Structure 1
């Protein structure tokens, strides 16, 4: 995932080398959670199951071989382009211990960061409301609400 400019200072100078080492040397250019390959188009069913073209089998969201029972609708198969990123498991960009870093595809990275993203969304909304409370005249706001009703 791209690093926001305001957070760039939290990462070490050699972050690109650390990230490359984790993604390609340790993980072998595959997601360490679901085993999707880096920079490849992958067919998937939207629920985590995906087609591994190299092994010619379906894999689960954890990378294990699975047999699809009952088939599936061909229209439900979608394609996605996989890009690996190096994720901090504890969400602390200052903690670059090898045990704290994992190579994850976009899907796994978003699932891993879901709680953090929910909190960030709440915090941004809270800040906007707080600033609005500081600078808006409450009488004007009440008048606007009365006009709408």
Structure 2
């Protein structure tokens, strides 16, 4: 994930190398949340289930093997997506760059991990817009 310019100074100068060590050294190019491989096309069903081509079976959103009942229209619902790994801070503190605090997550796992932070930012943005609207434009109808 690209780093926003206003957050760039929170990250160390060697973040690119540190991220590469976590994503490709420790995690060996696979998501630590669900096991999806970096840089490959993966077919998924939109609810977390995805096709593991290496193992030849379906996996759930956390990488566990699952069975799909025969006769289910899976191919009609499967969508392709490219997997890109990103290094994520487990405690959301960008100044804590210890190896135990960093994880290699795919897009899906990273968004799930950051969901509470995104909800907090969304609430804060909405609250700020309403406050500015009340201050300068009067009350909302």
Aligned equivalent of 2:84: 83
1:65 match: secondary structure: coil
After superposing on structure 2, the runs of 4+ consecutive aligned residues of structure 1 that deviate more than 6 Å are none
**Distance (Å, rounded) in 1 between the aligned partners of 2:52 and 2:38:** 12
**Distance (Å, rounded) in 2 between the aligned partners of 1:72 and 1:38:** 28
Q: Which runs of 5+ in 2 are unaligned?
A: none
1:91-149 C-alpha deviation (Å, 9 max, x unpaired): 1111111111100000000011111101101111111222223323x3xx68xx6xxxx
How far off its partner does 1:70 sit? 4.1
Richer in helix (by share)? 1
1:46 match: secondary structure: coil
**Distance (Å, rounded) in 1 between the aligned partners of 2:108 and 2:71:** 23
**Distance (Å, rounded) in 2 between the aligned partners of 1:55 and 1:28:** 16
Q: Which runs of 5+ in 1 are unaligned?
A: none
Q: TM-score, normalised by structure 1?
A: 0.88
Aligned equivalent of 1:62: 62
**Distance (Å, rounded) in 1 between the aligned partners of 2:111 and 2:130:** 26
RMSD across aligned positions (CA) = 1.5
